[in-house]
Amino acid sequence: MITRAGALHALESVTDPELPVLTIADLGILRDVRIDGDAVVVTITPTYSGCPAMAEIRSDVVAALTRAGAAAVTVDTALAPAWTTDWMSQQARDKLRAYGISPPTAGPSGPVDIPLSAVLGSLGARGRAAVGCPQCGSPDTEELSRFGSTSCKSLWRCRSCREPFDLFKDH
Protein backbone atom coordinates (compact mmCIF):
# COMPACT_ATOMS: atom_id res chain seq x y z
CA MET A 1 0.00 0.00 0.00
CA ILE A 2 1.26 3.45 -0.90
CA THR A 3 1.66 6.28 1.61
CA ARG A 4 0.93 9.93 0.90
CA ALA A 5 4.66 10.67 1.02
CA GLY A 6 5.25 7.85 -1.44
CA ALA A 7 2.57 9.19 -3.73
CA LEU A 8 4.04 12.69 -3.64
CA HIS A 9 7.48 11.28 -4.39
CA ALA A 10 6.08 9.32 -7.35
CA LEU A 11 4.38 12.45 -8.70
CA GLU A 12 7.74 14.25 -8.84
CA SER A 13 8.30 12.32 -12.07
CA VAL A 14 5.21 13.83 -13.70
CA THR A 15 6.13 16.87 -15.77
CA ASP A 16 4.20 19.18 -18.05
CA PRO A 17 4.49 17.70 -21.56
CA GLU A 18 5.10 21.18 -22.99
CA LEU A 19 7.61 22.15 -20.29
CA PRO A 20 9.52 19.00 -19.42
CA VAL A 21 11.73 20.80 -16.87
CA LEU A 22 8.77 21.55 -14.60
CA THR A 23 6.82 19.04 -12.53
CA ILE A 24 3.10 19.47 -12.08
CA ALA A 25 3.85 20.42 -8.46
CA ASP A 26 6.32 23.14 -9.62
CA LEU A 27 3.65 24.61 -11.89
CA GLY A 28 0.92 24.60 -9.27
CA ILE A 29 -1.21 22.21 -11.35
CA LEU A 30 -1.09 19.59 -8.57
CA ARG A 31 -3.53 20.83 -5.94
CA ASP A 32 -4.11 17.91 -3.58
CA VAL A 33 -3.08 14.32 -2.91
CA ARG A 34 -4.83 12.12 -0.39
CA ILE A 35 -5.00 8.45 0.45
CA ASP A 36 -8.46 6.89 0.58
CA GLY A 37 -8.09 3.24 1.63
CA ASP A 38 -6.21 1.53 -1.19
CA ALA A 39 -6.75 4.41 -3.57
CA VAL A 40 -4.86 7.64 -4.22
CA VAL A 41 -7.07 10.62 -4.98
CA VAL A 42 -5.26 13.38 -6.86
CA THR A 43 -6.72 16.81 -7.63
CA ILE A 44 -5.27 18.81 -10.51
CA THR A 45 -6.27 22.14 -12.02
CA PRO A 46 -5.83 23.29 -15.63
CA THR A 47 -3.57 26.27 -16.34
CA TYR A 48 -5.82 27.57 -19.14
CA SER A 49 -9.41 26.47 -19.84
CA GLY A 50 -8.30 24.94 -23.13
CA CYS A 51 -4.98 23.47 -22.01
CA PRO A 52 -4.54 20.46 -24.34
CA ALA A 53 -2.04 18.81 -21.98
CA MET A 54 -4.58 17.94 -19.30
CA ALA A 55 -5.49 14.53 -20.72
CA GLU A 56 -1.84 13.53 -20.96
CA ILE A 57 -1.07 14.82 -17.47
CA ARG A 58 -4.01 12.84 -16.12
CA SER A 59 -2.79 9.61 -17.68
CA ASP A 60 0.80 10.32 -16.56
CA VAL A 61 -0.44 10.73 -12.97
CA VAL A 62 -2.25 7.40 -13.12
CA ALA A 63 0.79 5.67 -14.65
CA ALA A 64 3.27 7.11 -12.10
CA LEU A 65 1.15 6.16 -9.11
CA THR A 66 0.36 2.71 -10.47
CA ARG A 67 4.09 2.08 -10.96
CA ALA A 68 4.64 3.18 -7.36
CA GLY A 69 2.18 0.55 -6.14
CA ALA A 70 -1.15 2.34 -5.88
CA ALA A 71 -4.02 -0.13 -6.22
CA ALA A 72 -6.38 2.51 -7.61
CA VAL A 73 -5.98 6.12 -8.70
CA THR A 74 -8.66 8.76 -9.06
CA VAL A 75 -7.78 12.06 -10.74
CA ASP A 76 -10.22 14.90 -10.07
CA THR A 77 -10.10 18.21 -11.92
CA ALA A 78 -10.93 21.39 -10.00
CA LEU A 79 -11.43 24.75 -11.73
CA ALA A 80 -11.56 26.83 -8.55
CA PRO A 81 -9.56 28.48 -7.21
CA ALA A 82 -8.38 29.47 -10.68
CA TRP A 83 -4.75 28.63 -11.41
CA THR A 84 -2.34 31.53 -11.26
CA THR A 85 1.34 31.92 -12.02
CA ASP A 86 1.64 33.31 -8.49
CA TRP A 87 1.65 29.65 -7.38
CA MET A 88 4.91 28.91 -9.18
CA SER A 89 7.73 28.36 -6.75
CA GLN A 90 11.03 30.25 -6.92
CA GLN A 91 12.69 26.94 -7.75
CA ALA A 92 10.30 26.54 -10.69
CA ARG A 93 11.09 30.06 -11.91
CA ASP A 94 14.83 29.34 -11.74
CA LYS A 95 14.37 26.09 -13.66
CA LEU A 96 12.38 27.90 -16.35
CA ARG A 97 15.06 30.56 -16.81
CA ALA A 98 17.78 27.92 -17.04
CA TYR A 99 15.68 26.17 -19.69
CA GLY A 100 15.56 29.38 -21.76
CA ILE A 101 12.10 30.65 -20.82
CA SER A 102 11.74 33.91 -18.94
CA PRO A 103 9.57 33.34 -15.83
CA PRO A 104 6.40 35.35 -15.11
CA THR A 105 7.10 38.83 -13.80
CA ALA A 106 4.00 40.36 -12.25
CA GLY A 107 2.76 40.36 -8.72
CA PRO A 108 -0.60 38.94 -7.68
CA SER A 109 -3.56 40.17 -9.71
CA GLY A 110 -6.18 41.87 -7.61
CA PRO A 111 -9.66 43.03 -8.52
CA VAL A 112 -9.67 46.23 -10.54
CA ASP A 113 -12.30 48.71 -9.44
CA ILE A 114 -12.32 51.34 -12.19
CA PRO A 115 -14.75 50.14 -14.87
CA LEU A 116 -12.67 51.21 -17.85
CA SER A 117 -9.47 49.69 -16.57
CA ALA A 118 -11.39 46.60 -15.54
CA VAL A 119 -11.85 45.98 -19.23
CA LEU A 120 -8.78 47.54 -20.78
CA GLY A 121 -6.09 48.23 -18.24
CA SER A 122 -5.65 44.69 -17.13
CA LEU A 123 -2.38 43.90 -18.84
CA GLY A 124 -0.13 46.91 -18.55
CA ALA A 125 -1.45 47.84 -15.14
CA ARG A 126 -0.04 44.95 -13.17
CA GLY A 127 3.25 46.62 -12.39
CA ARG A 128 5.35 44.32 -14.50
CA ALA A 129 9.01 44.14 -13.66
CA ALA A 130 11.45 44.27 -16.56
CA VAL A 131 11.49 41.06 -18.57
CA GLY A 132 15.04 39.78 -18.48
CA CYS A 133 16.53 37.86 -21.38
CA PRO A 134 17.03 34.26 -20.22
CA GLN A 135 20.10 33.96 -22.48
CA CYS A 136 22.20 37.02 -21.59
CA GLY A 137 20.26 38.53 -18.68
CA SER A 138 19.76 41.92 -20.34
CA PRO A 139 16.60 43.82 -19.34
CA ASP A 140 16.53 45.46 -22.81
CA THR A 141 13.81 43.27 -24.33
CA GLU A 142 10.62 43.73 -26.36
CA GLU A 143 7.42 41.79 -26.92
CA LEU A 144 7.01 40.36 -30.43
CA SER A 145 3.66 38.65 -29.89
CA ARG A 146 1.36 38.34 -26.91
CA PHE A 147 0.61 34.74 -27.88
CA GLY A 148 3.30 32.14 -28.37
CA SER A 149 3.90 28.47 -29.01
CA THR A 150 1.61 27.39 -26.16
CA SER A 151 -1.23 29.08 -24.24
CA CYS A 152 1.04 29.92 -21.33
CA LYS A 153 3.80 31.71 -23.28
CA SER A 154 4.32 34.92 -25.25
CA LEU A 155 7.11 35.62 -27.73
CA TRP A 156 9.85 38.15 -26.92
CA ARG A 157 13.18 39.33 -28.33
CA CYS A 158 16.31 40.54 -26.62
CA ARG A 159 17.67 43.78 -28.06
CA SER A 160 21.13 43.10 -26.61
CA CYS A 161 21.91 39.57 -27.80
CA ARG A 162 19.22 39.61 -30.53
CA GLU A 163 17.92 36.20 -29.51
CA PRO A 164 14.17 35.53 -29.46
CA PHE A 165 12.79 33.86 -26.33
CA ASP A 166 9.56 32.77 -24.68
CA LEU A 167 8.10 34.54 -21.66
CA PHE A 168 5.85 32.56 -19.35
CA LYS A 169 2.74 34.82 -19.30
CA ASP A 170 1.42 36.33 -16.09
CA HIS A 171 -1.87 34.71 -15.32
Partner 1 sequence: MTRQTSRNEAPAGADVATYALGLGDDVLVLAQRLSEWTARAPQLEDDVALLNIALDLVGQARNLLSLAGGRENPGRTEDDLAFWRDETEFRNAQIMELDGGDFGRTIARQFLVSAWHVPLWDGLRASTDPDLAAIAGKAVKEARYHVGYARHWLVRLGDGTPESRRRAQAGLEDVWPYVGELFEPDPVTERLVTAGAAPDPAVIEPVWREAVEAVLAEATLAVPPTVRRPTGGRRGVHTSAFGPLLAQMQHLHRSHPGASW
The residues of the shown chain that bind partner 1, judged by CB under 8 A, are: 46, 48-52, 78-84, 109, 115-116, 118-120, 122-123, 144-149, 151, 155, 169, 171
Taking the least distance from each CB to partner 1, the nearer of 28 and 148 is: 148
C-beta closer to partner 1: residue 40 or 51: 51
User: What is the rounded distance in angstroms from the CA atom of residue 111 to the CA atom of residue 161?
Assistant: 37
CB of 116 to partner 1, least distance (A): 5
CB of 152 to partner 1, least distance (A): 10
Kindly report the backbone phi and psi dihedral angles of residue 20, in degrees, each rounded to the nearest multiple of 5, phi listed first. Answer: -65, -10
Q: Which is nearer to partner 1, 23 or 85 (CB)?
A: 85
Query: Residue 145 Cβ, how far from partner 1 at the closest point, in Å?
Result: 4
Query: Cα separation of 73 and 65, whole Å?
Result: 7
Identify the burial level of 124 via C-beta atoms within 10 angstroms of its C-beta, where 0-12 means exposed, 13-18 middle and 19 or more buried.
exposed
Nearer to partner 1, 84 or 138 (CB): 84
Burial class (CB in 10 A: 0-12, 13-18, 19+), 159: exposed
Q: Is the CB of 48 or the CB of 99 nearer to partner 1?
A: 48
Q: How far is the CB of 4 from partner 1 (least distance, A)?
A: 26
* Burial grade of 134 (CB within 10 A; 0-12, 13-18, 19 or more): buried
Helix (H) or strand (E) holding 143: strand 141-145
**Closest CB 125 distance from partner 1, rounded Å:** 10
Q: What angle do CA 104, 108, 114 make, to 5 degrees?
A: 120
